[in-house]
Structures are given as C-alpha cells and as structure tokens.
Amino acid sequence: MAFGSFDSKGASHTVSEINMVPLIDVMLVLLVIFIITAPLLSHSIKVNLPQASAEQVKEQPKAIDLAVDAQGQLFWDDQPVSMDALQGRFQEQARLDPQPQLQIRADLNTRYEVLAKIMGQARVAGIKHLGFMTRPLPAVSGAPAAPAAPAAQ
C-alpha cells in the first residue's frame, strides 16, 4: 500500500515505510490477553495427601533357572532333572509365597516341542511368572555388551 506525502512542494511521491503503530497496538492487545488468561490455565486443586512410612520389600522372590540343552536334557539350577520329575517341582514352587520366577534358558537348537511341554507343565502346576533367558546381540560401535537378563512375561 502506498502512501502519499504532505510536503509543501506539491510533488507527490510514495512513502515506502510501513506504519508500525497498528501492528504494535495489536501485539500489545494480544500480550494483555495472554497475561490475563495464562494464570487461569494453570489452575490446580489443592489436596492434602496422606503421609505414609512404609519400608520397601527387601525379599526378592527366588528365581528358578531351568536350562534345556540341544538334546532336550533338563537342568534345574544346574542339577539334571527328568521331564517326569519336573511337574512335582513346579507344584512345590507354585505353593510358595512369593512365588519364584521360572527362567528358562534354552539352547538355540532346542526343539519347540520340549519348550511347549515345559510351559504347559508350569501352567498346569500354577507357575505365574515365566521368563526366557537370552543373550544380547554383539556390541555395536565399541559399546560394552550388557549382561544377559531374563525376558519376563
């Protein structure tokens, strides 16, 4: 938008400057609106919460390490065990409070049929916490490898 000038010479030339006063007025109005509405947006309700002093549970549930090698042989905490004796051991552990977590370490070449039988027996016995132990992938770009951790259910 071009504006004319009111100089006494009578020459009409356009003024190429923007009139900033209306823009400043609009910005000041918006600033005032935001100043007024900002405290209303952060309105909170005061609640007097109860105080409690409870100690954390220091007893961690025991973890059962059940290893299965490529031939399907079972090892309960590094002791050989048969598939038939496994059901009785699961039932003993299911009665404990807190119930231990069953951590299965299976060889890469273990048949799925063996793992399915183990998981079925654990479910029938009442084992609620079941996890699979895995080995982390090799470290990338020189980062140290993390220790193997159970993949909990």
Cβ atoms within 10 A of the Cβ of 110, count? 19
Please report which residue ranges of the chain form alpha helices under DSSP H: 21-41, 83-94, 112-125
pLDDT of residue 74: 92
> What is the three-class DSSP state of 131?
strand
- What pLDDT band is residue 142 in, cutting at 50, 70 and 90? low
Q: Tens of pLDDT along 60-83?
A: 778 889 999 988 899 998 899 998
**pTM for this one?**
0.52
Whole-number average pLDDT of the chain? 81
Tell me the mean pLDDT in the region 11-23: 79
Tell me the mean pLDDT in the region 118-133: 91
pLDDT of residue 4: 58
For the chain, domains (ranges, CATH) are 63-136+148-152 (3.30.420)
Cβ atoms within 10 A of the Cβ of 67, count? 20
Q: How far apart are CA 33 and CA 78, in angstroms?
A: 72
Q: Are strands 79-81 and 101-106 parallel, antiparallel or unpaired?
A: unpaired
Q: Tens of pLDDT along 23-64?
A: 999 999 999 999 988 877 776 677 776 677 767 766 677 888
Q: In one letter, which amino acid is 81?
A: V
- What pLDDT band is residue 9 in, cutting at 50, 70 and 90? low
Query: How far apart, in Å, are the Cα atoms of 32 and each of 11, 25, 82, 132, 134?
Result: 42, 11, 79, 60, 60
pLDDT of residue 7: 59
Q: In one letter, which amino acid is 90?
A: F
- Residue 4 pairs in a beta bridge with none
Q: Which residues of 129-150 are buried (b: 16+ CB within 10 A; e: fewer)?
A: bbbebeeeeeeeeeeeeeeeeb
Alpha carbons within 13 angstroms on the beta-carbon side of residue 86 total 28
